[in-house]
Amino acid sequence: MAAHGRYLAPGLVDMHCHGGGGHSFATSCADEARAAAATHHAAGVTTVMASLVSDRIEVLEQQLEVLAGVARTGEVAGMHLEGPWLSPAFRGAHPEALLQAPTPGDVDRLLRAGRGHLRMVTLAPELPGALQAVRRLVAAGVVVALGHTGADADTVRTAVDAGASVLTHACNGMRPLHHRDPGPVVAALGDPRVTLEVIGDGVHLHPEVLALIFRCAPGRVALVSDAMPAAGCPDGTYRLGAQEVEVLGGVARLAGGGSIAGSTTPLPGALQVSRAAGVPALVALGAATTAPSRALGLSVGALRPGAPADVLLLDADLQVQQVWRAGVPIGPAHD
């Protein structure tokens, strides 16, 4: 809805976020997690998932227990485990030594630690025991995402049949598209049951690829930040889980020039990147509100009676001007 050349829109929903403002969700300190969430709330992301990176099961267990308390107060919408059940060949910034195949015991341990607030898990469906884990997680009410995977298209389809419904940061951390081996992206694009995450930071995807995914999967693209603690911060040295990350020119890489290690662009920046790629304004807004909300089974991401009063005022270029969360103004107003 336009307001004197501006837009009144639902608050943004980020379903994949590791931290921001110098703070991490991969922590045993509830105050640090709250500070990370507050950074994104003030920017216009009124609903944020707390994403964790691969670590030892006992460390993830402790982090989930802490974050469950933060989720209980509504400061985060729940937790997202990105690992440790990932492919070593497509690990990205995840340490190979921490990766493993899922076991029923470990799945149940982490479900218990989440206390009902573990909302999404990313795993590689080709790993031993992965399909059993998909079924167990879905039965527990957890959204299963496929990512950091070398799976072929048939394996992806089998995992979707088992209940998986999201592709984690499409094109990144997975077998690439090939004309004789279509891989995860093509399988997800062709399946109406799958929501495709895309990182709209102008680094992870070429603008033409970003626009192509939007065209091929209308209504099923969810813009995500994949933000790490340096989001909204100057260049420097930060940490992502157990690893040191160097940010140079706004691009985060593992120390020593390694893999891209998340993004430094909060979700509102993905709106401008999408618009520059030719994505229509309302389509981009839908990908940052209704699509992720629907993928997670949330009641946010829309302006309707009974919905949370999470509202943004944006200018014609989709720059956030004012933020209301639960009806309370929290973001900086601009003239």
Point out the residues that are catalytic.
226
Nearest to 60 by CA among 85, 9, 26, 102: 26
Beta bridge partners, 253, equal: 246, 260
What are the C-alpha distances in Å from 102 to residues 46, 57, 130?
32, 10, 6
Say if residue 280 is preceded by a cis peptide, omega within 30 of 0. no
With a CB cutoff of 8 Å and minimum separation 6, the contacts of 63 are 25, 26, 27, 28, 52, 55
The Cβ-side half-sphere exposure at 322, using a 13 Å CA radius, reads 13
Q: What gap in Å lies between CA 181 and CA 167, rounded to an integer? A: 17
Helix residue spans in 18-100 (DSSP H): 30-43, 57-72
Amino acid at 128: P
243 CB neighbour count, 10 Å cutoff: 18
Residue carrying structure tokens 């001007």:
321
Give the three-class secondary structure for 46. coil
Q: What gap in Å lies between CA 4 and CA 44, rounded to an integer? A: 20
Nearest to 219 by CA among 202, 194, 200: 194
Strand pairing report for 13-14 and 47-48: parallel
Nearest to 224 by CA among 45, 21, 7: 45
Give the three-class secondary structure for 179. coil
Give the three-class secondary structure for 302. coil
* The total number of residues written for the chain in this structure: 335
**Would you say 300 and 11 are in contact if contact means Cβ atoms under 8 Å apart?**
yes
